[in-house]
Structure 1
């Protein structure tokens, strides 16, 4: 199948107040008090995970097609491959309200104290009937740990050249709104932390290869010349956010059921083109696996091997330029997804694009 491709120059855009975060939402100095940027020991590899990533919502999580223990299952599959023998992963801290206020408005964070709003974001309608205390503990706390993991992965990538957060990639959430199973804007927060903590880093690229348009970070970075967004997605599915598309620097819209050959050709061409065009100093790679054939929400037809090859292409092109890369696992709604992600990580290690030996 063929694809529609549009390359848009990175230019300033006018932003209306109702479309973006209110001005009081980003007190940058709060980041100095954060506990998210912790030091990882030399015995740890730059893969970030903790058991609290996983969601257990009294069985209600089964009402959503998402594997609510996907992140733990990725680690279990890596252990089965003997890839984690004798080595430690990095354990992140939970993002606090002060951390989240670097991106989110106070009014948005208050809205999460209403169960009906959390139910809408997670797309599990019965959750609206649960006490908010339960949702805070069983759903939002895991999301906050994953958000902290993404931020920490940004630091690790700058220090070690690469990192993988086993969770994160909540690309449908922006400063004022959540949706699509995304309650916190971890990609935006990760970029802010990098730019605020490293004075020598001035250009960040987001490569979003999830099946869905990454409208959250696009709205957050509307008009920013220092942020380059490559987004390749199925043009016929959620969210189809026309306004957010204005922020995309390189837009590749796919037809439904695009297969490996066409898909991988686009990845190769446009990742190379974007890197040549912008020359980033850090890359955030949103590696959604909902592009896989059979995914009821992504509606693309990329094979398991195609996903492994996609990740290899991205890492190879970024790392050959010695650019730090952060990988987030993002969407992927089938029970086999975790095993595919583990296979891909194993392949990156085999191809020496990452090094999973402790030093």
Structure 2
């Protein structure tokens, strides 16, 4: 039966805005917390099958364990995010795309889980997509905390191969696009810079913001590996293409040059830093040769870039496909703390 209401239909932008304003992903965080976002739900584990996958599916938990063990983080001080709901995801994604994720086959293609014939679909939904939705919630909240405290780190997220209508490369949800749209509405942000230093091209957010001049994209990546998305490249404002085997000094020199260009070309109100560690020497998918110290120096340069201009910045951990990645990320966060670029507020008397 047709509706007799005379109210005009809600357009797409109004619907998006209404969904953002009604979301529960932004919430007030008590002052006893630091802007480090993590949930034990981030980690993926089911019957040991995850060990067949190249991705370290417990990387996020290992990062926190290292930070706690070294005395730089207290577990009770971290922020637990809320899982992104369907309405939250519809801010960027279509109903059709989200429905497609209910198919085991499609999830397998996107996340490259082991053959789905041996994994019930309900298990894939619970053990793979649920952790991803928690990480999406963490990425979205990270923007709010960065605006309030100057910086934030989501120990997860960075699903930069996923766009509104297509996933891929272990990325099922477009958390980068989502957190930016939330920032536009909830934080009154109008200019955002994405600094994507994962070894792979960030084709997902590049597609989503291809015609949006509010977003400036600096992407430095290995041009000879996945995803080889030439269409998405057209949307990169500042493209730094590396070759396989690029070593630490050249990598950091190119980053210095790129940050200087970005500094002169765009004045952001918020920086999204996609800090993949698949640039590490030995990573089977990134194929670059950056040292662990080089990763720490890289992260320090990006945080200084934002700090010197008083721009809120939040970091997402993104890709990294070696067991050593968690230790490298933890050491980099420790370095940021020692250099006073972040404040983890360690209680007095704690070593």
Q: How does 1:147-158 map to 2 (within 5 A)?
A: 147-158=136-147
CA distance in 1, matches of 2:319, 2:106: 21
Tell me if 1:324 matches 2:309: no
Tell me if 1:110 matches 2:106: no
Instruction: String of CA shifts for 1:143-165, please: whole Å, max 9, x gaps.
Output: 00000000000100000000000
Tell me if 1:70 matches 2:67: no
Q: 1:265 aligns with which of 253, 271, 275?
A: 253
For the residue of structure 1 that corresponds to 2:240, the secondary structure is strand
For the residue of structure 1 that corresponds to 2:34, the secondary structure is strand
Q: How does 1:16-31 map to 2 (within 5 A)?
A: 27-31=16-20
CA distance in 2, matches of 1:138, 1:280: 37
Tell me if 1:295 matches 2:278: no
Contact 2:73 2:346 survives alignment (8 Å)? no
CA distance in 2, matches of 1:25, 1:55: 36
For the residue of structure 1 that corresponds to 2:128, the secondary structure is helix
Instruction: String of CA shifts for 1:310-332, please: whole Å, max 9, x gaps.
Output: 00011011111100001000000
CA displacement at 1:129 relative to structure 2: 4.2
Q: 1:309 aligns with which of 288, 294, 297?
A: 297
CA displacement at 1:62 relative to structure 2: 1.3
For the residue of structure 2 that corresponds to 1:310, the secondary structure is helix
CA displacement at 1:126 relative to structure 2: 1.1
CA displacement at 1:37 relative to structure 2: 0.1
Contact 2:24 2:82 survives alignment (8 Å)? yes
Contact 1:116 1:128 survives alignment (8 Å)? no
Tell me if 1:205 matches 2:193: yes
**Which residue of structure 1 aligns with residue 6 of structure 2?**
none
CA distance in 1, matches of 2:279, 2:325: 10
Q: 1:159 aligns with which of 131, 134, 148?
A: 148
Q: How does 1:242-257 map to 2 (within 5 A)?
A: 242-257=230-245
Tell me if 1:236 matches 2:262: no
Q: 1:274 aligns with which of 259, 262, 269?
A: 262
CA distance in 2, matches of 1:66, 1:86: 24
Distance 1:173 1:83, change over 3 A: same
**Which residue of structure 1 aligns with residue 7 of structure 2?**
none
Q: 1:337 aligns with which of 312, 325, 337?
A: 325
List structure 1 runs of 4+ shifted beyond 2 angstroms. 23-28, 127-131
Note the residue ranges of structure 1 that are not aligned, 5 or more in a row.
1-22
Tell me if 1:182 matches 2:174: no
Higher relative contact order (CA 8 A, sep 6+): 1
Question: How many pairs does the alignment contain?
Answer: 336
Contact 1:25 1:105 survives alignment (8 Å)? no
Contact 1:55 1:68 survives alignment (8 Å)? yes
Q: 1:196 aligns with which of 185, 196, 200?
A: 185
Tell me if 1:351 matches 2:339: yes
CA distance in 2, matches of 1:296, 1:189: 29
Instruction: String of CA shifts for 1:2-27, please: whole Å, max 9, x gaps.
Output: xxxxxxxxxxxxxxxxxxxxx79973
CA displacement at 1:223 relative to structure 2: 1.3
For the residue of structure 2 that corresponds to 1:247, the secondary structure is coil
CA displacement at 1:125 relative to structure 2: 3.7
CA distance in 2, matches of 1:241, 1:62: 29
Tell me if 1:136 matches 2:125: yes
TM-score (norm 1): 0.91
CA displacement at 1:130 relative to structure 2: 2.3
Name which one, 1 or 2, has greater alpha-carbon Rg.
2
| Alignment RMSD | 1.5
Contact 2:209 2:215 survives alignment (8 Å)? yes
Note the residue ranges of structure 2 that are not aligned, 5 or more in a row.
1-11
